[in-house]
Structure 1
Amino acid sequence: MRSRFLVSFRRSLSFKRISETVEPSESRVVVQGWIRSIRRQKEIAFVDVNDGSTLRSLQVIAGENLNVDNLCIGTSVRIGGNLTPSFHRGQLVELKADEITVLGQCNPKEYPFKAKRRHSLDYIRQHPHLKSRTSFFSSVLRAKNAASVALHAFLQESGYIQVHTPVLTTNDCEELGDLFQVEPQSYFEASSDRRSHFFGTPVFLTGSGQLHAELLACGLGSVYTFGPTFRAEKSHTRRHLAEFWMLEPESCRLDSMENLTNFIENCLKCTLKSCLSKCEADVYFVSDYSSQGENKSLVHLESAIEKPYLRISYTEAIRILESSNETFEFEPKWGCDLQSEHERFIVRYCNNTPVFVTDFPIELKPFYARDNGDNTAAAVDLLVPGVGELVGGSVREERLENLSYRMRKKGIDTDYDWYLDMAKFGAMPHGGFGLGFERFLQYLLGLDNIRDVISFPRFLGSCKY
Structure 2
Amino acid sequence: MFRVYEASGRLDKRQISYRGNNVFEPIEDVQATLFTPDICKKRLQDIIFSEHFRHLHIIDNLVFLATVEYFSSIGAQWCNLPLTTLMISSPGEVYQGKILDYNTDSLPIQIDWFDLNRKVFLSESSQFYLELRLLQENVEMVFSIYNSFRKEKADFSHLSEFQHIEFEGKIGYEENIKIAFDILKFITNKIISSAPKSLKYFLSEDEVEMLSTTFEYRNLARISFKEALHALYVDTSDERYKKFSLEHFGAWEEVRLTQIFNAHIILEEFPLLQTSFYHNELRKDEHGIPLSESADLILMGFREVIGSGVRIQNYEALLEKASIFNLPKDDYYPYLEMRKLNPYQKTSGFGLGWQRYTQWLLKLPYIWDAVHIPRGHILPAP
TM-score by length of 2: 0.79
Report whether the alignment pairs 1:464 with 2:381. Answer: yes
Alignment match, 2:109: 180
Alignment match, 2:322: 407
2:232 counterpart (296, 321, 335): 321
Q: How does 1:187-206 map to 2 (within 5 A)?
A: 196-197=115-116, 201-206=118-123
TM-score by length of 1: 0.65
Deviation at 1:228, TM superposition (A): 0.5
Report whether the alignment pairs 1:371 with 2:318. Answer: no
Deviation at 1:462, TM superposition (A): 3.5
Q: Which has the larger radius of gyration?
A: 1
- Aligned partners of 1:169 and 1:441: how far apart in 2? 28
Note if contact 2:199-2:208 (Cα within 8 Å) is conserved in structure 1: no
- Aligned partners of 1:450 and 1:430: how far apart in 2? 31
Alignment match, 1:453: 370
Note if contact 1:170-1:202 (Cα within 8 Å) is conserved in structure 2: yes
Alignment match, 1:250: 168
Deviation at 1:120, TM superposition (A): 8.7
Alignment match, 1:231: 150
Note if contact 1:287-1:298 (Cα within 8 Å) is conserved in structure 2: no
Higher relative contact order (CA 8 A, sep 6+): 2
- Aligned partners of 2:109 and 2:236: how far apart in 1? 41
For 1:136, give the aligned amino acid: H
1:434 counterpart (351, 358, 363): 351
Q: Deviations over 1:377-431 (max 9, x none)?
A: 1010001134311100101111111111111111112121110111111321210
Deviation at 1:440, TM superposition (A): 0.8
Alignment match, 1:397: 312
For 1:323, give the aligned amino acid: V
Deviation at 1:371, TM superposition (A): 0.9
Report whether the alignment pairs 1:354 with 2:260. Answer: no
Note if contact 1:140-1:286 (Cα within 8 Å) is conserved in structure 2: no
- Aligned partners of 1:382 and 1:119: how far apart in 2? 26
- Aligned partners of 2:237 and 2:203: how far apart in 1? 29
- Aligned partners of 1:417 and 1:129: how far apart in 2? 44
Note if contact 1:205-1:230 (Cα within 8 Å) is conserved in structure 2: yes
> What's the % identity of the aligned pairs?
22
Q: 1:344 to 1:326 in 2, by over 3 A?
A: farther
Note if contact 2:166-2:350 (Cα within 8 Å) is conserved in structure 1: yes
Q: Equivalent residue of 2:162, what SS? A: strand
For 2:140, give the aligned amino acid: G
Q: Deviations over 1:261-303 (max 9, x none)?
A: 1111111111111111111110111235xxxxx9657635632
Q: 1:318 to 1:446 in 2, by over 3 A?
A: same
Q: Deviations over 1:151-194 (max 9, x none)?
A: 1110011100000221011122122533222226xx7xxxxxxx
- Aligned partners of 2:61 and 2:242: how far apart in 1? 39
Q: Deviations over 1:332-372 (max 9, x none)?
A: 63123421111111111121x21100111111111110111
RMSD: 2.5
Note if contact 1:296-1:446 (Cα within 8 Å) is conserved in structure 2: no
Q: Deviations over 1:122-151 (max 9, x none)?
A: 998652123233211111110111111111
- Aligned partners of 1:349 and 1:407: how far apart in 2? 37
Segments of 5+ residues of structure 2 without an aligned counterpart are 1-22, 27-32, 95-106, 285-289
- Aligned partners of 2:243 and 2:209: how far apart in 1? 34
Note if contact 2:40-2:381 (Cα within 8 Å) is conserved in structure 1: no
For 2:332, give the aligned amino acid: Y
- Aligned partners of 2:377 and 2:109: how far apart in 1? 12
Alignment match, 2:5: none
Q: Equivalent residue of 2:110, what SS? A: coil
Note if contact 1:297-1:444 (Cα within 8 Å) is conserved in structure 2: no
Alignment match, 1:129: 44
